[in-house]
Amino acid sequence: MVEYPRRAVVDIGSNSVRLVIFSGPPRVPIAITNEKALCGLGDRDPKTGELREEAMERALATLRRFRAVIESEEPETQDVFATAAVRDAPNGKRFLQEIKEIGFNPRLIAGEEEARLAGLGILCSAPEIKRERMPAIGGDLGGGSLELSLLGGPGEEVDHMASLPIGSLKMQTDFGDDLKAGYKAVQEHFATLPWIAESRTPQIYVVGGSWRAIARVAMARSEYPVPMLDHFTMETEHALEVCGFVEESDAEDLGEISGVQKKRAPVLPMAAMVLRTLIETAHPERVVVSSCGVREGLLFDRLPARLRAQEPIIAMAEDLAERLAGGRRPDGRAVSNLVDPLFFDGPTLQRLRFAAALMIRSGNMVHPDRRAEHAAATIMATPFLGIDHKERAMLALMMKARFNGSIGKSDGTIPLEILDEEQITYSVRVGYAHRLAAALRTPLYNRKSGFALSRDADVIELSVEDHVRDLVVETGLKDLERMASSFDAEAKIVTASSA
């Protein structure tokens, strides 16, 4: 069994102090420990700009506890960094010294570096930005500052890094409930970055606790069926409507919404106003939530180029295949060699099919009567990166069909309502094709398996070489017929001796 190193990251932010211990494949950092405390360091003294003593005490107490957690978990690496609140405070250096006395070696990150790492974190979870050559604006709203960058532009990764002093907590401290005054200040800051309006990017990727809380509001209001923030997407009109709702709402009412922390609720109207102003300035087509930010960006920055270029969905599928196959891990290329001729699709769907091919035996360690439901539930619960919610649902449906699960108009595990008929049909076809590959056995491991599939308008033909004829048993014949039926085609078998 593969064992991955554990990497601890302590993020001393303006609103919260957080400890995350990551494990999992290097390309897919998975938070196995995730603790935070809302310490409010960004709520600095308005006269002196210094960190308040009570906030520092809360943060130091939290960091002492984090130190004990880290010692118990024994991670291989640890990083401790502070951002805007400490960076801008006259007594920030004294606070860092007190953190050192706890046993940490804190790093103070400059604003542009924070924007760069936040951008890398978004790219870690959103490889489609580079894969589809569709530049995006990345925004990470913290308590003390907003970090902005252009992702996937001429520099390929992160360009135009900027840090603006308009974090949600700072805006509330400076302007209270006066959203109009805050709006004017945000406009003035955005005017110093003309590239925001000139970029003409189709999407904005957003990071930060306040903006994620606004996404939770959007989910609750629309009764959205996938309770995951990463790649939750709002069209521009929807995003503006949600921002308007949050700006007009009382903090007490916002705190009652599922997924919104009561302590964070008071800063959400200002956070919504900042997001609305960014949308009005950049004119994107959609707003996409990212689950990754500076912490993941720090780890992504250290990966070799080979791993950074890897599709995270493939890295995670390989990990699941290793852990759940119950034996020899299948060769995804061998499976794909058999089924690829059936599908006339592009790279985006091909990577989904290949991920499903890797996981073709991922139900083997589960009771046979529960394999289909377990496989689908596993896909819906696994912390994949690099797939949106529709792709996740399609992948879950592929796995359910592969393990012979019943396919209906609704499903208790898979949110079929977010898929159209074409996506459902495609996913079922992939699952049935993979079920046939598993039944024939040799296509699981041998790229020259002795079998070949071809598809014409109304016939799917399975060619069988003589040395594997005995592997075509009744189960395989049924799987072939059902798969062909899903294509509205006739099944046909051709052997070398009969050709």
Question: Which architecture characterizes domain 111-296 according to CATH?
Answer: 2-Layer Sandwich (3.30)
pLDDT score, position 423: 97
Distances (CA, A) of 241 to 4, 171, 215, 333: 43, 21, 12, 45
Q: Which fold has domain 7-108?
A: Nucleotidyltransferase; domain 5 (3.30.420)
Distances (CA, A) of 256 to 169, 239, 283: 20, 20, 31
CATH of 311-495, one of 3.40.50.720, 1.10.150.20, 2.60.40.740, 1.10.3210.10: 1.10.3210.10
pLDDT score, position 200: 86
Closest CA to 264 of 247, 275, 276, 252: 252
pLDDT score, position 3: 82
pLDDT score, position 327: 78
User: 122: burial class by Cβ within 10 Å (0-12, 13-18, 19+)?
Assistant: buried
Say if strands 286-289 and 233-235 run parallel, antiparallel, or are unpaired: antiparallel
How do residues 243-254 score in pLDDT, each as one tens digit?
999 999 999 999
Instruction: Specify the domain boundaries for CATH 3.30.420.150 within the chain.
Output: 111-296
Which tokens go with 310?
């890897």
pLDDT score, position 499: 55
pLDDT score, position 337: 96
CA–CA distance, 223 with 226 (Å, rounded to integer): 9
| E strand or H helix that includes residue 427 | helix 421-440
pLDDT score, position 477: 94
Collapsed DSSP state (helix, strand, coil) of residue 171: helix
Distances (CA, A) of 166 to 181, 294, 331: 12, 18, 50
* Contact call for residues 153 and 222 (beta carbons, < 8 A): no
Torsion sign (Cα): 485, 487, 488, 491: negative
CA–CA distance, 246 with 273 (Å, rounded to integer): 9
pLDDT score, position 333: 97
Instruction: Specify the domain boundaries for CATH 1.10.3210.10 within the chain.
Output: 311-495
Residues in the chain with pLDDT values less than 50: none
